[in-house]
Amino acid sequence: MTENASNTANTANAADDVDNVVLRLEDVEFRRKRRVIITDVNLTIRAGERWVLFGPNGIGKSTAVGMLATRTFPSEGRVFILGHQLGKYDVFKLRTRIGLASADLGRQFPEFEDPLDAVVTGLSAVTGRWRDTYTEEEYARARNLLSDFRVSYLEGKEMWRLSEGERTRVLIARALMGNPELLIMDEPTTGLDLGGREQVMRTLSRIGQEDSNRAVVLVTHRLEEIPAGFDYIAIMGRKPIPAEDATEEGLDSAGNPGAGTIIYTGPLEQGLTNERLSALFGMPIEVEHSHNRWSAFAV
């Protein structure tokens, strides 16, 4: 191959790579009331990839999710979503291409909202149906999604009457309503009992193993809630506080822990090691993987 042909091929490959990127965070920092919540966050997710965003409670995962879902803007750095930079494009146009299932979103629905309407309004990315109208075909799709998640019986009920497991499945159905290019599920099994959790895990495994170009991000702090079909992981940990600025307890001068950051991105199997999780949680951890499920124990 000639040098010119090689350069042309490299340019084409670079263009394909850019077109294939669904999410890119570059040197992202977020501050709240002068406190740095997350910093030096870098992450690239491509079409068709299934990612887990993992880390302890309070590390900044929800802050990162807010940016991925266009609900929060970075204080520093750049966030690109579906080819557009956050802050320089109409977020309402982006939101119709993003499916989001989160407890925070679930709390935004009117108490008396029909779960069927909660699902169908995923097409317009609004919470609470008012004057917007939808076709019979769109309602049929919403009913099919409720049926897929075995909650058809919820049609005609009210959102506030749903159990945590029922609400979770309604929110995932809503997230899929518009056949999104990016699907984000934030702690989808929080608050569920064993039976409810396993029902949702089956749903998540099906999503993880589907044959599509949809990019999927699952946020969790529990290894047991990583379903089959997810191949990549971004692990969040604390950015060390410089020794000259740290107290004896390892906090900064204001009494805060270090900001959250991403300490690993890559394949699940290489990320979930005993050594890495032991350092992350500050205790000896043993990781196990069997029957397509992950687990971890203090030893």
Residue 130 domain flag: yes
pLDDT at position 250 = 57
Domain CATH number, residue 90: 3.40.50.300
Residue 135: domain span: 109-179
- Is the pTM higher than 0.85? The answer reads yes
Do 42 and 130 fall into the same domain? no
Give the burial string for 18-53 (b: 16+ CB within 10 Å, else e): eeebbbbbeebbbeeeeebbbbbbebbbbbebbbbb
Q: Which two tokens stand for residue 3?
A: 């040098």
- Is 257 within the bounds of a domain? yes
Residue 7 lies in a domain: no
What pLDDT digit, counting tens, does each position of 166-220 carry?
A: 888 899 999 999 999 999 999 988 777 888 788 888 888 988 998 899 999 999 9
Q: Is residue 207 part of a domain?
A: no
User: pLDDT tens digits for 208-221?
Assistant: 998 899 999 999 99
Does the residue 14 lie in any domain? Answer: no
User: Does residue 169 share a domain with residue 190?
Assistant: no
Please report whether residue 8 resides in a domain. no
Report mean pLDDT in 10-residue bins for the chain, 299 residues.
Answer: 43 53 96 90 96 94 93 95 94 93 89 94 88 92 92 94 89 94 91 82 89 94 92 92 58 67 96 95 94 91
One domain, residues 143 and 62: no
* Domain total of the chain: 2
Question: Is residue 171 in a domain?
Answer: yes
Are 160 and 234 members of one domain?
A: no
